Amino acid sequence: MTFVPADILDETLAVVREAGAIILEQWDRPSSITLKGRIDLVTETDVAVEEFLKQKLRGVLPEAGFMAEESAGDAPLGELTWIIDPVDGTTNFAHRIPLVATSVGLWHCGKMVMGVVNAPVLRECFHAVRGGGAFVNGRSIRVSGTSVLEHALVATGFPYTIREDVEEVLHWLSRSLVTTRGVRRGGSAAIDLAFVAAGRYDAYYEIGLRPWDTSAGWLLVEEAGGRMTQLDTNESFNLFARGVLASNGPLHDPLYALLKG
């Protein structure tokens, strides 16, 4: 399935948008919040959206397995696997900050072949299929043309291991702040990658991400003409990399050199 049939894409988009309705339904209601780690949250909405997605996506591709943040985070990547983050930006959701997204990627034979990032509160649904380009609400998107770091708007995020990694994170942040036009921290890796694909951010970097954070966004960036590598080495990206560096392309190597300097 290196080529994703139109009906599979359409069914997937419909399912993900339906899942977004669950987020919107619960947006104005109090959340039941529990902790997975010191600062890592999960709400009943995360669980409900993930269960809905798994149930519905089984009907789209019954032969596919699941790697899903809340219920199957340790599942292996099989030949055909849905990779799901039901609510990327759970802390944002808990505080009713609208940078919240559902990320669904489809992995087939060693590569991403489809990715959907739906930001229901923003009313924006991004999608890409391998070889077919990247889109938001059905409109084609491309990465920016910025070629000078001083003109670049860069996004980043802070890992749940911030206590252990704070010196490294602050080193990257200080270098970015004094060299670029500005740095943004939105709190959703899926949205950050989608915004790079759409040319809103010129680049994005972060460590401590998991496959469900990056799977759909990775394909969005590449199909929009951008580049994505491992932050530690600048080598080809993989879903289990410690960190990610995504950009419009021209800024990629200069930004890597800046961060690692």
Binding annotation for Mg(2+) = 69, 85, 88, 213
User: Which stretch of DSSP H or E encloses residue 247?
Assistant: strand 243-247
Report CA Rg, the chain.
17
- Binding site feature residues: 69, 85, 88, 213
- Angstrom distance (rounded) from CA 21 to CA 253: 40
- Angstrom distance (rounded) from CA 19 to CA 50: 8
Q: Are strands 134-136 and 139-140 parallel, antiparallel or unpaired?
A: antiparallel
Q: Are 166 and 219 in contact (CB under 8 A)?
A: no
- Angstrom distance (rounded) from CA 200 to CA 179: 18
Altogether, the residues listed in the chain come to a count of 261
